[in-house]
Amino acid sequence: ETGVTQSPTHLIKTRGQQVTLRCSSQSGHNTVSWYQQALGQGPQFIFQYYREEENGRGNFPPRFSGLQFPNYSSELNVNALELDDSALYLCASSFGTLKQGTQYFGPGTRLTVT
């Protein structure tokens, strides 16, 4: 069974640029959730995708957007990067949107905005 993978591991961007982060869900999972974790804080929910549709969104501005593909992999796009976007971005996959569904996390992408 393949776990959740994310790419790239690290990247550095300049303020105002755009970035795309990628996530491959665990085998058999059809739901992907994205989280942002600032240094020293717990992860914060950005949004979730289920069967290629956005299925819930946290308190993040529209410049944070996403996609889910037919193979259930996903992308997180952030436009007009700000310094405060520097964080660890985590992807988690689960099966369905059942309340009991357990989410399994990838290793994360460390984004630094300068």
Partner 1 sequence: DAKTTQPPSMDCAEGRAANLPCNHSTISGNEYVYWYRQIHSQGPQYIIHGLKNNETNEMASLIITEDRKSSTLILPHATLRDTAVYYCIVRVPNAGNMLTFGGGTRLMVKP
Size of the site for partner 1 (CB under 8 A): 31
Nearer to partner 1, 9 or 14 (CB): 9
Q: How far apart are CA 5 and CA 97, in angstroms?
A: 20
Q: Are strands 109-113 and 10-13 parallel, antiparallel or unpaired?
A: parallel
Torsional sign, CA 84, 60, 94, 100: positive
Chosen residue from 42, 53, 70, 83 binding partner 1 by CB under 8 A: 42
Partnered with residue 34 across adjacent β-strands are: 47, 91
* CB count in 10 Å sphere of residue 105: 16
Among residues 25, 48, 74, 93, which is the contact residue for partner 1, using CB under 8 A?
Answer: 48
Nearest-approach distance from CB 16 to partner 1, in angstroms = 27
Q: Which residues here bind partner 1, judged by CB under 8 A? A: 4, 31, 33, 35, 42-45, 47-48, 55-58, 88, 90, 92, 94, 97-108, 110
